[in-house]
Amino acid sequence: MNQPKKFSGATTVWLFKMAWRDGKASFNKLGLFMASIVLGIAAVVSIQSFSENLKSNIAVQSKSLMGSDFKIDSNKAPNEVVMTIMDSLGGYNAREINFPSMAAFPNKEGTKFVQVRGIEGGFPFYGELETEPVNAAKTYQSNQSALVDATVMLQLNLKVGDSIKIGAISLPIAGALKSVPGSNAVFSTVAPPVVIPFEFIEASGLVQTGSRLDYEFYFVADPNTDLAALNKSIGKRLDAEEADLDIHTSTSQRLGRRYDNFGRFLNLVAFIALLLGCVGIASAIHIYIKEKLRSVALLKCLGATKRQTFLIYLIQIAVVGFLGGIIGSILGIILQQLFPVLLEGLLPVDVEITLVPNAIFMGVLLGLFMSVLFALYPLIGTLYISPLQALRIEEKSNPQSLKAGIFVLMGIFAFIFLFSYWLLKDLRYALAFVVGLVITFSILAGIAHVFMKAIKRFFPYSWGFIPRTSLLNLYRPQNQTLILVLAIGVGSFLISTLYFSKDLLLVQANMEAQENTANIILLDVQTGQQEDVAKTIKANNHQVIDNIPIVTMRMHSIGGKLVNAIKEDSTSTINRWVLNHEFRTTYRDKLIDSETLEQGEFTSKADGLDAIPISVSDNLSRDAKLEIGDEIVFNVQGVLIKTVVGSIRTVDWSRMQLNFTVLFPTGVLESAPQFRVLTTQVPDERASATLQQQLVSQFPNISVLDLRQILSVIENLLNKIGWIINFMAFFSILTGIIVLLGAVRTSKHQRIKESVLMRTIGAKSRQILKMIALEYIYLGILGSLTGIILSLVSSQLLALWIFETPFSPSVIPFVVLFPGITILVLVIGLTNNLSVIKKPPLQVLRRETN
């Protein structure tokens, strides 16, 4: 007997031809699938590409960022060893002392908390001091004048020639400082830079006990110098003398990493948009393939193999994904041009945008791969369809292989996990992201299922015909309830989470005008000044809320082992910051509101004890590997004090008040060199300005921090970041709308058939319209409300477990998002179905069949 040949003669070219023939007739539907992923891809590519550009710009401009090839810095005056090392390097080319201080502007009766930078030599050697007038940068040293931050000049209406008073000195202003190498935009907002000639630092009289001085020595290296090797050879020696060597490349790498983290977070937001689009694809392909099953059966009848029919549709999806990837990548490249504008003031360098081939390649690959992956499960359906269905026999279709389904699902999760790992570079975070995603999607899908079951079970038979029928539509065969609830729910969840998290962050920083809550902090108050400062505060009708002593010290030994020896010990697990840190400690006889005793016993007064029982914060105990009973010897400005860890406290660092890692009992440090921090509360800005002016003129060394100003800086910063996150979330929302459109359009045919039938048996346009409107209102309400409530619950949990703060959620998601999204769903649903009402039934049916 003749057996048929094993393989069909149809070529791969024919498969592509069939995919094209079939695809072009379904162009509208495939176009929507493509649109679902285009925005997600655009978002991912734009972020990825911009991050790469930023990183390479930071690397290229690394010298300009530092202003030199390398620098040695320390927060104490360099000792002989450090000076010798610097001499061996050929001596520094420029030096700087900087510190935060109050500046007064006598002509304007204004004061400002600024970062004073006293510079000697030709710094910066790379990049430039941008000033207005331009030559002020070159002449300020010889003219013995100051350069003042341009924003401060604008705020206080200062002109060139006005004077600035810093401590005991008064200098004319030579120009407005627009940018200075090494200046951080965010920090500059809190303490704007003021550049003065180096020789005036000493004369200002502000270099004294408790001053937070930073000494920096800038070097220009020979172009052939191996900076990394230099760092290796002298880094440790400098470390031992509490000085640091910073080379321009490591500074730019550190900076790059910081921005990279933010970029990764934004990438995740973008990735969510892409995932949402993929859920849309999976759902739309499901309906699309269902419509194609009869054609598949027929092709099989005519002799096509399972593989061939499967491949025809796989090719279609792959091509759509590939095109989506290309279009998305192009859009992403265009979009990244917006980022420098959106991130204005937050970027350390001017970013020159160039094409990043990696990002484009990733975008195209992502489009192709994710479309295929998410379409695979519905596509597998083509393998199981029997050719018998081409005849009139309505055979029960074979259940799709459970194994194949699980396999595809595992593939999807594995991909999401790997991709998020690639983005986050942290296994735990990637896992948490996937788990969070699964939980969110599962809850939304679960609620949609429960809702459908609940309608079935408790169906309101007593309702009128129209609301009853529209409710019925939510669980009819091929309903769109699940996908619409997912699309609407995830969109609403994302947007409202953004609102709630911003609330959470602001609550952390917020200070209500409560009585006895300090909003002015006076730093660097010398012990001898405290009474006079308190008098000035009281004379202005304010209360001194806190008067906290501060004693600076460093760790000398831990558990009997010298800190220098620990630094040398490569096996030590003690965090390095502990060994180099200058601790600002205080002493008091009780714990305060922000502190909770975790272990041991708090000693309020230490009398005649050999080792002083101190209290350490939980983060210090973790980083320094300290336990109750461990011995620490502190070097308090030359005097060694033996202490023992008596208790461990948790500290709520998020509170805007002074908190300490190391707390001494009373009776020990009272006679040590110290300075004070006083706090008070002022009712308004005018009172704050008056107090600041009086304090600065009487006590030039004191720095005054107005917490409300800092809060407004934080708020501005959060708003800026929030705006960027909103911008990224916007992609999710747009994708959600496209998925919604896709879902509505794919179910349109069935809806039209039903509506035509309704019209044929006498339903009026109004009735059909009401029916459709009600169905979308049900879906809109269910999806958006579920998303918002889910987000509220997760934000509440975040507040409870992570931020440990009471959380009063914004009402915006409820009063704006909830009705807004519901109306949007309604409008999309109605506009897509208007043709049903406008045209005669037969015409509609014929056109839809075509």
Partner 1 sequence: MTKILNVENLEKSYDSGSKKLTILKDINFSVEAKETFAIVGPSGSGKTTLLGLCAGLDQPDSGVVELCGVQLNGLTEDERALLRNKKVGFIFQDFQLLPTLTALENVAVPLELQGDKHASKRALELLEKVGLKDRTHHYPSQLSGGEQQRVALARAFSNRPEILIADEPTGNLDADTGEKVVKLLFDLNKEEGTTLVIVTHDIELAQKTGHILKLKGGQIIENTKTAL
Smallest distance from partner 1 to CB 344, Å: 51
Smallest distance from partner 1 to CB 323, Å: 19
- Smaller CB separation from partner 1, 404 or 781: 404
Q: Where are the alpha helices (DSSP H) in 747-764?
A: 748-760
DSSP character string of 253-320: HHHHHHHHHHHHHHHHHHHHHHHHHHHHHHHHHHHHHHHHHHHHHHHHHTT--HHHHHHHHHHHHHHH
- Smaller CB separation from partner 1, 18 or 58: 18
Q: Can residue 28 be called a binding residue for partner 1 (CB under 8 A)? A: no
Q: Can residue 843 be called a binding residue for partner 1 (CB under 8 A)? A: no
Longest CA–CA separation in the chain, Å: 115
Strand partners of residue 555: 634
Smallest distance from partner 1 to CB 8, Å: 6
Smallest distance from partner 1 to CB 352, Å: 48
Choose the binding region for partner 1 from 18-26, 106-114, 414-422, 808-816 (rule: CB under 8 A).
Answer: 18-26
- Smaller CB separation from partner 1, 222 or 394: 394
Q: Can residue 2 be called a binding residue for partner 1 (CB under 8 A)? A: yes
- Smaller CB separation from partner 1, 297 or 707: 297
- Smaller CB separation from partner 1, 56 or 295: 295
- Smaller CB separation from partner 1, 299 or 351: 299
- Smaller CB separation from partner 1, 23 or 325: 23
Choose the binding region for partner 1 from 17-25, 120-128, 320-328, 733-741 (rule: CB under 8 A).
Answer: 17-25
Q: Can residue 849 be called a binding residue for partner 1 (CB under 8 A)? A: yes
Interface pattern 327-356 for partner 1 (x via CB under 8 A): ------------------------------
Q: Can residue 748 be called a binding residue for partner 1 (CB under 8 A)? A: no
Smallest distance from partner 1 to CB 752, Å: 15
Six-digit token string for 702: 């004191």
Judged by CB under 8 A, the chain residues 606 through 645 that form the site for partner 1 are none
Contact 61/128 with Cβ under 8 angstroms?
no
Q: Can residue 21 be called a binding residue for partner 1 (CB under 8 A)? A: yes
Contact 697/110 with Cβ under 8 angstroms?
no
Question: What CA–CA distance (Å, rounded) separates 550 from 548?
Answer: 6
Smallest distance from partner 1 to CB 393, Å: 6
Q: Can residue 749 be called a binding residue for partner 1 (CB under 8 A)? A: no
Question: What CA–CA distance (Å, rounded) separates 652 from 116?
Answer: 31
DSSP character string of 373-386: HHHHHHHHHHHH--
The angle, 0 to 180 degrees and rounded to 10, between the axes of the packed helices 465-472 and 765-797 is 60
- Smaller CB separation from partner 1, 26 or 650: 26
- Smaller CB separation from partner 1, 293 or 658: 293
Q: Which of 48, 62, 308, 470 binds partner 1 (CB under 8 A)?
A: 308
Cα 754 → chain centroid? 48
Smallest distance from partner 1 to CB 840, Å: 18
Task: Give the phi and the psi of residue 553 in degrees, each rounded to 5.
Answer: -160, 165
Q: What is the 3-state secondary structure (H, E, C) of 411-464?
A: HHHHHHHHHHHHHHCCHHHHHHHHHHHHHHHHHHHHHHHHHHHHHHHCCCCCCC
Half-sphere exposure of 317 (CA within 13 A, CB side): 26
Q: Which of 3, 28, 88, 462 binds partner 1 (CB under 8 A)?
A: 3
Q: Can residue 842 be called a binding residue for partner 1 (CB under 8 A)? A: no
Q: Which of 142, 462, 671, 850 binds partner 1 (CB under 8 A)?
A: 850
- Smaller CB separation from partner 1, 375 or 521: 375
Number of residues that bind partner 1 (CB under 8 A): 42
Q: Where are the alpha helices (DSSP H) in 670-746?
A: 685-698, 707-746
Token pair 């200058």: residue: 582
Question: What CA–CA distance (Å, rounded) separates 431 from 416?
Answer: 10
Judged by CB under 8 A, the chain residues 248 through 307 that form the site for partner 1 are 294-295, 298-307
Instruction: Classify the phi-psi angles of 67: left when phi > 0, otherwise alpha if psi is within -120 to 50, otherwise beta.
Output: left
Q: How far is CA 689 from CA 148, 277, 549, 685, 712, in A?
A: 20, 53, 25, 6, 16
Question: What CA–CA distance (Å, rounded) separates 471 from 778?
Answer: 8
Smallest distance from partner 1 to CB 414, Å: 30
Smallest distance from partner 1 to CB 27, Å: 10
Q: Can residue 26 be called a binding residue for partner 1 (CB under 8 A)? A: yes
Smallest distance from partner 1 to CB 753, Å: 15
Choose the binding region for partner 1 from 8-16, 103-111, 642-650, 725-733 (rule: CB under 8 A).
Answer: 8-16
User: Which H helix or E strand runs over 218?
Assistant: strand 214-219
- Smaller CB separation from partner 1, 23 or 363: 23
- Smaller CB separation from partner 1, 1 or 761: 1
Interface pattern 363-402 for partner 1 (x via CB under 8 A): -----------------------xxx-xxxx-x-------
Amino acid at 95: R
Question: What CA–CA distance (Å, rounded) separates 454 from 464?
Answer: 19
Contact 796/494 with Cβ under 8 angstroms?
no
Smallest distance from partner 1 to CB 835, Å: 17
Q: Can residue 6 be called a binding residue for partner 1 (CB under 8 A)? A: yes
Smallest distance from partner 1 to CB 295, Å: 5
End-to-end CA distance of the chain: 45
Question: What CA–CA distance (Å, rounded) separates 670 from 586?
Answer: 10
Q: How far is CA 543 from CA 524, 530, 531, 539, in A?
A: 19, 14, 13, 9
Q: How far is CA 347 from CA 57, 140, 738, in A?
A: 11, 27, 33
Contact 33/320 with Cβ under 8 angstroms?
yes
- Smaller CB separation from partner 1, 7 or 458: 7
Count how many residues are written for the chain.
850
Choose the binding region for partner 1 from 9-17, 191-199, 494-502, 669-677 (rule: CB under 8 A).
Answer: 9-17
Q: Can residue 730 be called a binding residue for partner 1 (CB under 8 A)? A: no
Q: Can residue 761 be called a binding residue for partner 1 (CB under 8 A)? A: no
Question: What CA–CA distance (Å, rounded) separates 785 from 846?
Answer: 38
- Smaller CB separation from partner 1, 261 or 398: 398
- Smaller CB separation from partner 1, 8 or 135: 8
Smallest distance from partner 1 to CB 12, Å: 11
- Smaller CB separation from partner 1, 108 or 307: 307
- Smaller CB separation from partner 1, 9 or 464: 9
Q: What share of the chain is helix, strand, coil (3-state, %, to 5)?
A: 55, 15, 25
Amino acid at 293: L
Smallest distance from partner 1 to CB 6, Å: 8
Q: Can residue 404 be called a binding residue for partner 1 (CB under 8 A)? A: no
Question: What CA–CA distance (Å, rounded) separates 689 from 535?
Answer: 17
Q: Decide: helix, strand or coil at residue 726.
A: helix
User: Which H helix or E strand runs over 472?
Assistant: helix 465-472
Smallest distance from partner 1 to CB 427, Å: 43
Strand partners of residue 650: 596
Q: Can residue 802 be called a binding residue for partner 1 (CB under 8 A)? A: no
Q: Can residue 477 be called a binding residue for partner 1 (CB under 8 A)? A: no
Q: Which of 16, 17, 559, 709 binds partner 1 (CB under 8 A)?
A: 17
Question: What CA–CA distance (Å, rounded) separates 686 from 542?
Answer: 13
- Smaller CB separation from partner 1, 307 or 476: 307
Residues that bind partner 1 (CB under 8 A): 1-11, 14, 17-18, 21-22, 24-26, 294-295, 298-308, 386-388, 390-393, 395, 849-850
